[in-house]
Structure 1
Amino acid sequence: MQLKNSMLLLTALTAGSSVARMHGHERRHHHHEKRNVGDEVYAVIDGVLESWVNDWSGSATTTVESNKAAATVAAAATVAAAATIEVSANVAASATVAASAAAATSSSASVVSSADGTCKSWSATSSSYSRSGFGAKSNAKRTTDAIYYSGNVGSPWGSNIIEVSEDKACLYQYVVRFQGSSSDDWTVKFWNKIGPNGGLNGWYGNSALEFKIKAGETRYVAFDSDSQGGWGAAKGDSLPTDEYGGYSCTWGEFDFGNTSNDGWSGWDVSAIQAQNAGQEVQGMKICDHTGSKCSTIGNALASVINAYTSNLADADGIGGNSNEEAVRLDVELDFA
């Protein structure tokens, strides 16, 4: 993914070959470090050094009950230098019943759009776009290390990502069409990069939206502006996880209308998490709706085009990007 003006966000790359590029995979897919219960940890948030006591014993819980469980994630961060934050890998997901935050971890999908109008084509664009079905926008937060930038995660958390019907899709500014496997039912789960507790841990047991896509089925998902995160997709009823509870399948990563980056958007496919866990790499292809700016990984790494693998974690310029007002992406799951 390329991000303009050297903003280290999501894949942390810049747009334009003449601009210096940076990347974030070495931090987003950081190896986990040991930290004891009771240790004090630090992070610089909105320019203020904050501290807290680590209370995670090392056991992750990722069970989510439909429409009533809200995940809270305890994360530890350490200041590596005055202006640099390293991600502590001691991240755990613990579920707690909280009706007021149920949207944060809903395990089932429903088409929530009540937007006025219909579409002749899901990829059509217009001069204005609907927010019907989204929650309130959360306040963006900047940090000393831009990988920690928190854009819009929705209020409540996760309400910035909704499923919409095909005849409503064009009414939204940022839309992704998912085309299912030709042979099997798959589970798709979405998260914000920043988790419900404000840490860089959204993929540890959290779900803003989840659905099962049947063989040959097509689904549409709309994203609110200034949203950063990812989705994972795998055959069966759930996503695989690594020993720490992080989703360890192939990821699709997104950054839509980043307000700290002049409204640029970016996307990529990444197998880093699956490879680091020694687990199956699922095939995925992401292109814009015209079939260009593609990022693809074939099943079992049969092919890799403009996408992230573990040996490319330090590479720059990978993925697609756009500075268009609206973005329409096409995703093919179980890509051979």
Structure 2
Amino acid sequence: MKISTTTLLLAAALGVAAHPSAHAHRHLHRSAVEKRTDFVMAKRPAPVVPAKAAVAPPPVAVPPTTPFARPQASQPSGSGTGASVYTPFCGGKPSKRATAAEISYKGNVGTPGNYGCNMMLIQSGIADKYDYTATFTNAGSQDQACACWNKIGADNGINGFFKGNQVFNFNLPAGGKQVIAADANTQGGCSCGPGALSLTNFGQFAGSWVEFDFGNQSNGGWSGADASCLVAAKNGLSIPGLNVCGSGTCSTIYPGGTGKNAYLAGMEDADGVGLNLPAGKINLQITVDYRG
């Protein structure tokens, strides 16, 4: 899932809060554009067409410490924070779906008035109750600050990966684990940093990203994931190790920016990198501060 400079410029032209910059990911998943037998990425955005300015949904009252935070259950059922019993996404309400005719495929970003309810923190003991999960493990000796986002922000801009637009933040202690769950048709990502999140001068999350596309509705339910350091590499920022695995395949970034089956410096034009996963239940295993 590579977000393009062209797409960010287009989003800005349409009046949404995206920052044009040459360091951003170049493509979107092709799932909204063409069908293939495997998981595919998106081509460049469609030509600019007149569009009405996006109207942000009504604000939702949330605790001040975590943007779009979800209530957390009090009784533990495993490691990590978050829900300890099965909790339906968005209170069980149908999520809003977008069509392929839009400038970019929006997918599932929650329900009207409850942006981001398509993702939540959960405790490890209930991970098997969800179809799409990612288990984060901190392999390092420093606590990590992490953020997760939808590709599409709350104002309908392609800007979920900028500070302030994320769905939630969480802390990942040294040696600790945390599970997140996502609803079907969710496209987004997460990034972690030792002590604090790394940001570009534009306020975009940097470091190493895990990008995911869970149960893509327009692609027959296929899923995909990858590790990417394109943003950090383009901006000369620190690149921590990150390993993303699922169904026997991994996407790996080593400290400093080398790696395999991942988006590394200079790979903005590459396609087909990462994990292509057939329809079905997915658990991504994500190792933060990975060193090989």
Deviation at 1:321, TM superposition (A): 1.6
Indicate how the Cα distance of structure 1 residues 225 and 33 shifts in structure 2: closer, same or farther if over 3 A, else same. closer
Tell me which residue corresponds to 2:62: 102
* Residues 223 and 179 (structure 1), Cα distance of their counterparts in 2 relative to 1, 3 Å cut: same
**Higher strand proportion:** 1
Separation in 1 of the partners of 2:60 and 2:183? 20
Structure 2 residue aligned with 1:6? none
Between the aligned partners of 1:187 and 1:265, the Cα distance in structure 2 is: 26
Spell out, residue by residue over 1:281-332, the C-alpha distance to the aligned partner (whole angstroms, 9 max, x if none): 11100001x5x2100001112x311000131121122000211311011000
Partners of 2:150 and 2:10 in 1: CA distance:
25
Answer whether contact 2:62 2:68 (CA < 8 A) is retained.
no
Separation in 2, partners of 1:138, 1:271: 31
1:296 corresponds to: 252
Return the offset for 1:165: 1.1
Task: Give the drift of 1:29.
Answer: 5.1
Structure 2 Cα separation of the partners of residues 103 and 276 of structure 1? 34
Question: Is structure 2 residue 175 aligned with structure 1 residue 216?
Answer: yes
Which structure has the larger Rg over C-alpha atoms? Answer: 1
Stretches of structure 1 that go unaligned for 5 or more consecutive residues are 1-10, 12-24, 43-53, 59-82, 87-95, 120-129
Q: Distance in 2 between matches of 1:314 and 1:104?
A: 39
> What residue in structure 1 maps to residue 189 of structure 2?
230
Which residue of the partner structure matches residue 249 of structure 1?
207
Q: TM-score, normalised by structure 1?
A: 0.65
Query: What letter corresponds to residue 175 of structure 2 in structure 1?
Result: G
Aligned pair partner of 1:334 in 280, 283, 289: 289
Tell me the SS of whatever aligns to 2:232: helix
- Which of 135, 149, 153 lines up with 2:105 in the alignment? 149
The percentage of aligned residue pairs carrying the same residue is 30
Letter in 1 for 2:46: T
Map 1:135-146 onto structure 2 (within 5 A): 135=91, 136-144=93-101
Alignment: residue pair count: 250
- Provide the C-alpha distance between the structure 2 equivalents of 1:105 and 1:31, rounded to a whole number of angstroms: 30
1:35: Cα distance to partner?
Answer: 11
Which of 157, 176, 180 is residue 134 of structure 2 equivalent to?
A: 176
Let me know the Cα RMSD of the aligned residues: 3.6
Pick from 84, 105, 121: which aligns with 2:46?
84
Unaligned runs of 5+ in 2: 20-44, 49-55, 79-85
Q: Does 1:240 align with 2:195?
A: no
| Structure 1 residues 236 and 310: alpha-carbon distance in aligned structure 2, compared to 1, 3 A threshold | same
Report the secondary structure of 1:294's partner residue. strand
Matched, 1:315 2:277: no
Separation in 2, partners of 1:335, 1:175: 20
Is the Cα contact below 8 Å between 1:138 and 1:151 reproduced in 2? no
Aligned CA distance change for structure 1 residues 315 and 134 (closer, same or farther; 3 Å): same
Over 3 Å counting, the alpha-carbon distance change for 1:255 and 1:32 in structure 2 is: closer
In 1: Cα distance, 2:231 partner to 2:175 partner: 26
Deviation at 1:137, TM superposition (A): 4.1
Q: CA deviation at 1:227?
A: 0.3
